[in-house]
Amino acid sequence: MSDKPKPDHVDRLRGQWAREAPDIDTTPMTILGRAYRLSNLVRPSIEATFAGFGLDRGEFDVISTLRRSGPPYRLTPTDLYTSLMISSGGLTHRLGRLEKAGLISREKSSEDGRSFFVALTPEGQKRAEEAFRADMASEMQFLEKLSPEKRAALADLLRELVRGVEEGDATPSS
């Protein structure tokens, strides 16, 4: 019996490229292509989990950011959209839906009457935590085929790659 892993979708794509353009090094697909494919494969499950709590992924991102910020579970809109890496317009739309659902409130700043904070309501705190717990349990099912040691090694390697990209060590040349 061979120790060689069974080919996956990315291996098949690389094989096609090797046949059609053998001079192109497809090594990046072994990591980045698989990361992209994995993200696409798990996305429906994650979105279904959030939908079970009456949320879409973007709404969950807002209430989970507020929840993990700690008491009093409130941030300025600028802090929120900077953390979420979205436009202020995209955030405004999400906030409207979340406020209508009773999961957040907008509180005027006591120091500056022109500004406000976005705060989780008690129901928002509860929903954020329940949805997060369900999401982590669901996502763990995808990882169960890997031993705890392999999960830790993969997490370490991905952290190293992400930090390198974030720090600009791997700036693409075009």
Other C-beta atoms lying within 10 Å of the C-beta of residue 88: 11
Residue 47, φ and ψ in degrees, nearest 5? -65, -35
H-state helical runs in the chain: 9-20, 27-28, 34-51, 57-68, 77-84, 88-100, 122-143, 148-166
Other C-beta atoms lying within 10 Å of the C-beta of residue 150: 11
pTM as predicted: 0.85
Domain ranges within the chain, ordered by starting residue: 42-166
Structure-token match 């992400």, residue found? 162
What are the structure tokens assigned to 30, written together? 């072994």
Structure-token match 């798990």, residue found? 42
User: What is each CA distance from 42 to 56, 106, 140, 163, in whole angstroms?
Assistant: 15, 33, 11, 23
For residue 70, the SS3 value is: coil
CATH code, 42-166: 1.10.10.10
Strand partners, 106: 118
Task: Give 117's contacts (C-beta < 8 A, 6+ positions apart).
Answer: 74, 75, 76, 106, 107, 109
pLDDT confidence of residue 169: 60
pLDDT digits (tens, 9 = 90+) for 94-149: 999 999 999 999 988 777 667 889 999 999 999 999 999 999 999 999 999 999 99
pLDDT confidence of residue 170: 54
pLDDT digits (tens, 9 = 90+) for 65-102: 999 999 999 999 989 988 887 888 888 899 999 999 99
